[in-house]
Amino acid sequence: MQNVKKYVEGLDIKEGMQYRATCPWCGGKNTFTATKEDGTVLYNCYKLDCRIKGATSTGMTAEEIMGRLRPQEKHKQKEEQELLTWPEHVVSPSAEHTLHTKFVKRWDLEYEYLMYDVKDRRTVFPIRHEGRLIDAVGRALDGAIPKWYRYSGVADVYKRTIGKPNGVVILVEDVISAVSAAKTVPGLTGLAILGTSLNVTMMKHLEDYYKIIVALDPDAAHKTLAYKREIESWTGLDTRALRLDDDLKYKVESDIMKLKELV
């Protein structure tokens, strides 16, 4: 595994960019990808019989750091007027928050920016728009009701993309599935619905893509088809329905293969 990291660290990948090539371990044609985000390179081979995947920190160059600071300075005034301010009981996670740590390991979220609600024992997924914190979604870790909690209720959706967006978005039902989809196919945008049904505002979130994939949970197959027809009628965009064998967050190999065929 050390040789894998050395190979990845030797790749000249710029911040926010994706590298795709033949896997140097299994020989799969164009199945190896590496994406750099926040100074960390996420790498993975999509071939089913190849288990190469992981992450390694390569840091950021001075140019990349300056490029990151410039937009921050541009939006500084907006960020100072964030729509959501963290309550005192929502903190940065630490090793003592064992429920959070187990949850993160269970769903492969080690490289996600997350917070922790110590009062309600929830892992919290921040939602930003144009650099501003506008909302957050908290997942209960001990069976509390509701399972998912909205901290402001402002956001309609939760989006996650790793690397440069490729113009394809996948509509899922929960935040973890959105992250899983984004990590499975770098460039793909995972979009989780934060309400019970589609509305005009949600449709607007889909207008920037050329292809939409609807992949709701297996027990909602009828809703998947209904959403597919509704989105296609509303947007006029190429919209596909993906029939899953299990929730996307479980990363069942048959579901992963079907997803890659559609992207």
Cα dihedral sign, 99-100-101-103: positive
What is the pTM for the complete model shown?
0.72
Predicted confidence (pLDDT) at residue 68 exceeds the cutoff of 60: no
Same domain, 113 and 201: no
Same domain, 114 and 193: no
Same domain, 34 and 96: no
pLDDT digits (tens, 9 = 90+) for 1-60: 457 888 888 887 877 777 878 888 888 877 788 888 777 888 888 777 787 888 887 776
Residue 78: its pLDDT value, please? Answer: 46
Total domains present in the chain: 3
In a domain, 239, yes or no: yes
Q: Which of 104, 132, 150 is the last residue of a domain?
A: 150
Q: Which residues pair with 72 in a beta bridge?
A: none
In a domain, 69, yes or no: no
Same domain, 23 and 93: no
Same domain, 27 and 79: no
Same domain, 250 and 187: yes
**CATH number, residue 42:** 2.20.25
Band the pLDDT of 189: cuts 50, 70, 90: very high
Same domain, 29 and 84: no
User: What average pLDDT score do residues 220-238 get?
Assistant: 91
Q: Which of 150, 177, 196 is the last residue of a domain?
A: 150
Residue-range definition of the domain harbouring residue 26? 2-62
- d(CA 45, CA 92) in angstroms, rounded, equals 32
In a domain, 68, yes or no: no
Band the pLDDT of 225: cuts 50, 70, 90: very high
Same domain, 173 and 229: yes
Predicted confidence (pLDDT) at residue 153 exceeds the cutoff of 70: yes
**Do the beta carbons of residue 148 and residue 178 sit within 8 Å?**
no
Same domain, 119 and 163: no
Residue 12: its pLDDT value, please? Answer: 79
Same domain, 86 and 58: no
Predicted confidence (pLDDT) at residue 111 exceeds the cutoff of 60: yes
In a domain, 67, yes or no: no
Same domain, 186 and 246: yes
In the chain, alpha helices (H): 2-9, 62-74, 76-79, 98-106, 175-184, 200-204, 221-235, 253-262
Question: Which of residues 30 and 209 earns the better pLDDT score?
Answer: 209
Same domain, 254 and 199: yes
Predicted confidence (pLDDT) at residue 62 exceeds the cutoff of 80: no
- d(CA 11, CA 58) in angstroms, rounded, equals 10
User: What average pLDDT score do residues 144-159 get?
Assistant: 92
| Cα 251 to the center of its chain, rounded Å | 14
Predicted confidence (pLDDT) at residue 175 exceeds the cutoff of 60: yes
Q: Which of 100, 116, 150 is the last residue of a domain?
A: 150
